[in-house]
């Protein structure tokens, strides 16, 4: 267990350090005010895409290509920013095998799960990706060159320069909402990585066992790591322990409206005495529907039977994509 937590701390350190570091070439200042001037697309990308496109995942741990690889496949010398934004919008609206440019990635990971994003969100992410250098994993340069069948012997060094060794973030310096969001997103990254990785390597039934046995303890260990209470709660829980209380139900309804309007959700922050509570929605993509979708459509019979036997009281089926499956409910001391 100790080792396990140690491992989590390592992950958090990596995730944390990456998601916060300022693009070196552009923001030289290290004071807090530079966070304010940060491009909005960077945060949106970290919140919406890094679960699967995280630059810190090792080659073996990946569940999707890093963003830098996407950038290199989508942008060449002739690509204008408008072209790039348009092709990102098109992909997000309809990820499919025929239109995919990254054949290797599709073969390895399966086609990207479909999830609705606000057009403005994608526009800002693409704008950021186009104009700024984005983080790349250490292994990337070499791998990319190998893939292109050239440039043996270069690489590596370049990757390192890009800032994998930035100082660790201090979450406590962030605003209350931002800090809660980091707790949620780092937990989501750990859960999401394990879940997608298991589906990709071992199939849905094995992944179901993973969720059944590990989702709760993993979320709990993240609470220990962050010294916060981190919970995933739902109005239609699978595990009765994850049932939302009345306050949480209110926020679930608030977020349902935001998501239905295709707007970008921001965390709800409440201060009570010496504690801060932060709430943030958990939405569905096509991948989730294999275990939370409509029976005999996206949710097959075998999976459903296994769910019923593990969770006789299950309420968490019948979902479509881009629905609020629940919320992160996070409490920490001021
Ligand atoms: C649930 C996991 C997941 C999330 C979240 C996700 N992606 Fe992906 N994405 C993938 C996978 C897996 C691939 C590789 C397979 C493929 O190309 O379809 C991919 C590939 C891509 C590609 C390349 C498509 C191609 O082959 O031409 C683009 C562009 C992309 N993602 C953009 C995004 C953006 C932008 C976000 C955030 C708004 C995002 N993705 C969020 C899993 C995800
Ligand atoms: C392989 C099957 C599987 C997939 C895929 C899956 N889940 Fe779940 N999910 C479960 C199981 C099993 C539980 C109950 C875990 C427990 O006992 O703590 C669960 C629980 C949850 C909970 C906690 C509330 C509750 O109902 O108990 C949320 C929120 C959730 N899932 C959201 C998602 C989202 C969002 C996705 C897609 C990104 C997803 N799940 C994909 C199987 C799955």
- 93-97, 109-113, 160-164: range with lowest mean pLDDT: 160-164
Number of neighbouring beta carbons within 10 Å of residue 256: 15
Question: How do residues 276-330 score in pLDDT, each as one tens digit?
Answer: 999 999 999 988 999 999 999 999 999 999 999 999 999 999 999 999 999 999 9
317, 299 in Cβ contact below 8 A? yes
Q: How far is the CA of 194 from the centre of ligand 2 (A)?
A: 12
Of the ligands numbered here, which is closest to the C-alpha atom of 90? 1
161 pLDDT higher than 80: no
87 and 49 Cβ atoms separated by less than 8 Å: no
**Is the CB–ligand 1 distance for residue 259 below 6 Å?**
no
The residue whose C-alpha atom lies closest to atom 38 belonging to ligand 2 is: 288
Q: With bands split at pLDDT 50, 70 and 90, how would you rate the model's confidence at 140?
A: low
Average of per-residue pLDDT across 160-185: 66
Q: To the nearest whole percent, how much of the chain has pLDDT over 90? A: 48
In angstroms, what CA-CA distances link 187 with 25, 54, 134, 220? 30, 13, 22, 9
Q: Which of 64, 83, 128, 129 to mutate to test the pocket of ligand 1 (most atoms within 8 A of CB)?
A: 64
Q: Whose CA is nearest to atom 20 of ligand 2?
A: 238
| pLDDT at residue 194 tops 90 | no
What's the chain's average pLDDT?
A: 81
Share of the chain above pLDDT 70, in %: 79
**Per-position b or e across 219-239, b if 16+ CB within 10 A of its CB:** bebbbebbebebbbbbbbbbb
Is the CB–ligand 2 distance for residue 324 below 6 Å? no
pLDDT value at 156 more than 70: no
Residue 238 CB–ligand 2 contact under 6 Å: yes
pLDDT of residue 276: 95
Of 57, 47, 50, 54, which is closest to residue 10 (Cα–Cα)?
57
């Amino acid at each position: 267990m100790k080792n396990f937590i140690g491992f989590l701390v390592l992950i958090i350190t990596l995730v944390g350090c990456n998601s916060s570091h300022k693009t070196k070439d552009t923001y030289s200042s290290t004071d807090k005010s530079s966070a304010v001037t940060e491009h909005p697309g960077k945060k949106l990308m970290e919140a919406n895409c890094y679960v699967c496109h995280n630059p810190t995942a090792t080659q073996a741990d990946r569940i999707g290509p890093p963003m830098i690889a996407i950038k290199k496949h989508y942008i060449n010398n002739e690509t204008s920013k408008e072209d790039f934004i348009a092709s990102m919008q098109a992909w997000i609206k309809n990820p499919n095998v025929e239109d995919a440019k990254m054949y290797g990635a599709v073969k390895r990971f399966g086609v990207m799960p479909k999830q609705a994003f606000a057009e403005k969100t994608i526009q800002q992410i693409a704008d950021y990706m186009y104009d700024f250098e984005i983080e790349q994993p250490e292994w990337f340069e070499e791998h990319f060159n190998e893939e292109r069948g050239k440039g043996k012997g270069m690489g590596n060094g370049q990757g390192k320069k890009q800032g994998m060794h930035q100082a660790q973030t201090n979450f406590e310096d962030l605003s209350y909402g931002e800090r809660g969001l980091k707790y949620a997103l780092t937990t989501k990254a750990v859960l999401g990585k394990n879940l997608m990785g298991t589906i990709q390597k071992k199939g849905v039934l094995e992944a179901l066992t993973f969720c059944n046995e590990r989702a709760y303890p993993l979320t709990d260990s993240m609470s220990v790591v962050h010294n916060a209470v981190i919970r995933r709660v739902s109005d239609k829980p699978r595990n009765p322990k994850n049932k939302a209380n009345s306050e949480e139900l209110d926020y679930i309804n608030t977020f349902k409206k935001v998501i239905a309007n295709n707007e970008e959700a921001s965390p709800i922050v409440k201060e009570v005495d010496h504690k801060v509570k932060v709430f943030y929605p958990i939405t569905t993509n096509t991948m989730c529907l294999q275990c939370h979708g409509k029976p005999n459509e996206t949710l097959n019979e075998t999976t459903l039977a296994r769910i019923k036997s593990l969770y006789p009281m299950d309420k968490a089926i019948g979902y479509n994509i881009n629905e609020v499956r629940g919320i992160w409910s996070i409490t920490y001391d001021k």
